[in-house]
């Protein structure tokens, strides 16, 4: 039995409270492995607890209705057999981190559906995966965590300790699997949920091999040029080995090349997206940073520096194409649905603007290394 509800999450992340909305799918009698259902709530400390906690009443009622059962306690996982009879109570604190992680994954998946996205509301890499989940209406559980805390159960899922991380049900097994790296997760979701009748158009062209490769080329452009350029501008402070004008010029070049490709391909005659009338993975990859451009305007003198209409000189047509793409992408439903209030980002990104952030992305930018 699947029931859906719109859940508003309150999460404590890196010193900032923010709210994010997520559509959650609760499967009250979900079974994992050999007829087991595992329900988790207030698991460990921190944010998994907060999400499961906020679902507690609903889950408790559902389980009561389904199985006429249950005694809930914090920090425990209960396992049920397929008759709904409780078989064991597992004290999570007493398990090894790896076992905790597996229990939590299995429990989330049993309770909420097939996939769990571990994310942070503020994170643009997470937003990529979240947009794909929203675009394709993939049932999932969104789990807000603080990736800076590097909790053991999270590291057991993703040894790199970064969000997004996707926990995936492993059919017939109690152990779920995990994937990480936003680009990998997005492609996985597009391929795994490939049925266009059920999940809408594929985000990477399916039939045209060249077009698919061209999309990957421009995903690579976003990943290796545009995104690092964004942080170099935002983290610029006095005394850096480069001027803000240089950082801005490099960043604008990356955006301009992206827009020029859209002009050269002629996609604009069909619509605003990278592929014209068709929203694709290339749009997904850049959308979170497009939404965050206002942070550079807010924090850095001179702002992003995209020429106003009529002031693009020899690049006028290219910047007009950029404007068209930008205006469409920030209004895209999936992009808006995965965004909190602007003020929250201003607060959260101050540490980047001051260049005091200890995040791995921030440190890599500061040290001139490639991003994690
Ligand atoms: N290359 C990774 C980058 C992910 C990433 O850096 N995520 C940040 C949050 S925006 C994170 O988890 N940071 C934790 C840390 O820096 O310790 C991806 O594309 O998924």
361 CA closest ligand 1 atom index: 6
Is the C-beta atom of 165 inside 6 A of ligand 1? no
Q: Give residue 109's pLDDT band: very low, low, confident or very high (50, 70, 90).
A: low
> Looking at residue 95, what is its pLDDT?
62
CATH number, domain 209-366: 1.20.1050.10
> Looking at residue 88, what is its pLDDT?
54
> Looking at residue 210, what is its pLDDT?
98
> Looking at residue 53, what is its pLDDT?
27
Count of other CB atoms within 10 angstroms of residue 322: 23
**pLDDT for residue 37 is more than 50:** no
* Segment 284-310 mean pLDDT: 97
The CA 163 to ligand 1 mean position distance, Å, reads 5
* Segment 244-249 mean pLDDT: 98
Query: CATH: 3.40.30.10, 3.40.50.2300, 3.90.1150.10, 3.30.160.100. Which one for 2-199?
Result: 3.40.30.10
Global pTM reads: 0.77
**Alpha-carbon dihedral angle through residues 295, 296, 299, 302, given to the nearest 10 degrees:** -150
**pLDDT for residue 233 is more than 50:** yes
Out of 70-84, 272-286, 307-321, pick the least confident. Answer: 70-84
The CA 125 to ligand 1 mean position distance, Å, reads 7
Is the C-beta atom of 228 inside 6 A of ligand 1? no
Tokens representing 14 are 């890196």
**pLDDT for residue 35 is more than 80:** no
**pLDDT for residue 100 is more than 80:** no
> Looking at residue 61, what is its pLDDT?
40
Residues of the chain with CATH 3.40.30.10: 2-199
Q: Catalytic annotation on 123?
A: yes
> Looking at residue 120, what is its pLDDT?
86
> Looking at residue 39, what is its pLDDT?
40
Q: What does the alpha-carbon distance between residue 80 and residue 88 come to, in Å, rounded to a whole number?
A: 7
Higher per-residue pLDDT: 30 or 281: 281
The CA 116 to ligand 1 mean position distance, Å, reads 17
> Looking at residue 325, what is its pLDDT?
98
Nearest to 189 by CA among 278, 273, 284, 277: 284
Q: Give residue 163's pLDDT band: very low, low, confident or very high (50, 70, 90).
A: very high
> Looking at residue 106, what is its pLDDT?
56
Residues of the chain with CATH 1.20.1050.10: 209-366
Please tell me which residue in 52, 77, 123, 186 is annotated as part of the active site: 123
> Looking at residue 227, what is its pLDDT?
98
Out of 35-44, 243-252, 261-270, pick the least confident. Answer: 35-44
Q: What is the mean pLDDT of the chain?
A: 76
> Looking at residue 5, what is its pLDDT?
24
| Nearest-CA residue for atom 13 of ligand 1 | 162
């Amino acid at each position: 039995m699947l029931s859906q509800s719109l859940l508003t999450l309150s999460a404590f992340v890196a010193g900032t409270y923010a709210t994010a909305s997520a559509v959650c799918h609760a499967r009250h009698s979900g079974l994992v492995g050999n007829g087991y259902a595992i329900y988790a709530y207030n698991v460990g400390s921190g944010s998994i607890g907060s999400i499961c906690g906020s679902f507690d009443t609903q889950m408790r009622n559902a389980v009561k209705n389904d199985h006429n059962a249950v005694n809930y306690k914090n920090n425990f996982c209960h396992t049920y057999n397929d008759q709904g009879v409780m078989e064991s109570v597992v004290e999570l604190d007493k398990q090894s981190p790896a076992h905790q992680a597996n229990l939590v994954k299995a429990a989330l998946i049993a309770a909420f559906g097939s996939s769990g996205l571990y994310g942070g509301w503020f994170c643009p890499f997470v937003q990529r995966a979240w947009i794909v989940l929203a675009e394709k209406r993939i049932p999932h559980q969104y789990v807000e965590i603080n990736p800076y805390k590097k909790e053991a159960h999270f590291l057991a899922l993703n040894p790199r300790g970064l969000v997004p991380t996707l926990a995936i049900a492993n059919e017939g097994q109690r152990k779920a699997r995990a994937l990480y790296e936003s680009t990998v997760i997005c492609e996985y979701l597009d391929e795994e949920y490939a049925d266009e009748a059920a999940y809408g158009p594929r985000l990477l062209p399916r039939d045209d091999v060249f077009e698919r490769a061209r999309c990957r080329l421009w995903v690579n452009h976003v990943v290796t040029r545009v995104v690092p350029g964004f942080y170099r501008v935002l983290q610029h402070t006095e005394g850096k080995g480069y001027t803000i004008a240089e950082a801005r010029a490099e960043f604008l070049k990356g955006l301009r090349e992206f827009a020029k490709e859209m002009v050269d391909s002629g996609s604009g005659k069909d619509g605003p997206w990278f592929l014209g009338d068709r929203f694709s993975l290339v749009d997904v990859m850049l959308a979170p940073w497009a939404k965050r451009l206002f942070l550079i305007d807010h924090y850095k003198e001179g702002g992003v520096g995209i020429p106003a209409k009529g002031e693009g000189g020899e690049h006028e047509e290219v910047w007009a194409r950029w404007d068209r793409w930008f205006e469409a992408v920030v209004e895209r439903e999936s992009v808006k649905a995965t965004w909190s209030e602007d003020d929250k980002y201003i607060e959260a990104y101050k540490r980047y603007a001051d260049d005091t952030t200890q995040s791995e992305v921030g440190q890599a930018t500061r040290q001139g290394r490639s991003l994690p």
